[in-house]
Amino acid sequence: MRHAVRRRLAGAALALALAAGPALAAAPAHADPVPVGIPTIGDVLRGVEVDWAEGHWNWTAWNDATPVAFGADQDAYQCAEYVARALAAAGLVPGLGPDDPQDAYFHYTAPNGVTYDLLLISDLPQYHNLYDYLMDSHLGQDIGDHPDQARPGDVVVTYAGPGGTKSHTGLVVTPQDGAAEPTVDAHNRARTHYGYHYYAPSHLVRINPLGLLDGFLGQVPTAPAAPAAPQPKAPRSAVTVQVPQDVAGPQV
């Protein structure tokens, strides 16, 4: 119930922000800062991400709440899908909800007309992955390896694949606190409140929900390009979609 209420509040907050888009875009650079202690719309929406992630870190599959043990494999519910669903729970994937089927994440067509595989974080040339979605939408900003700047709801991307490519992702759930590093929730394997540096070498992707105002929601889809070669599709079971696997192997 708490997650549902937070999602409704977040949806209302995002709707207000989008309705005020032109006014926000026209705000002067010297506008008064938000008073300390008062949460911004971004804070609220990132809080919804974290609430959702904390409630789903040990699920067996997107539609199976059977808990797995800490550190157990979640072969049907891997890292990028988990992060993408947390974003969708906060309304940050336009047109997609956290309980939509896997195929909707596998073939998500964004407002810019590009189809993204939100179940994937690895760099496979025939797919636009979750990281591409974050960059293209302006929802995310890659600020490099700066755990001191991590906020709950930001995304961590690990570069441990072949040639230093992307191999894993998770969601920041607590910020740095003195000598204590930020902590991360992630799939596969199931981890909650695990230290940021466990996922090294990593970059922090700062999540700014209002980035959507000048990203996807300010774009007009371009004319379709020439048809691409058909993407390989593996057989699907009744429960889970078989998707491209992380080229670095099982995720930590």
Domain spans of the chain?
Answer: 2-24+40-218
The predicted structure's pLDDT at residue 214: 78
pLDDT(69) > 60: yes
The predicted structure's pLDDT at residue 28: 39
In whole angstroms, give the CA distance from residue 9 to residue 12.
5
User: Any idea what DSSP says for residue 224?
Assistant: P
In whole angstroms, give the CA distance from residue 91 to residue 60.
23
Q: What is the pTM of this model?
A: 0.79
pLDDT(61) > 80: yes
- For residue 252, what pLDDT band results from cuts at 50, 70 and 90? low
- For residue 185, what pLDDT band results from cuts at 50, 70 and 90? very high
Q: How large a percentage of the chain has pLDDT more than 90? A: 67
The predicted structure's pLDDT at residue 251: 60
Measuring CA to CA, how many Å separate 136 from each of 25, 79, 204, 209, 247? Answer: 18, 20, 16, 13, 23
The predicted model gives 227-239 an average pLDDT of 47
Q: Which residue has the higher pLDDT, 21 or 145?
A: 145
Alpha helical stretches, state H, 20-118: 21-26, 41-56, 79-89, 102-106
Q: Give the least confident one: 4-13, 88-97, 103-112, 205-214.
A: 4-13
Tens of pLDDT, residue by residue over 1-42, are: 444 444 444 444 454 344 333 333 333 334 444 455 688 899
The predicted structure's pLDDT at residue 197: 94
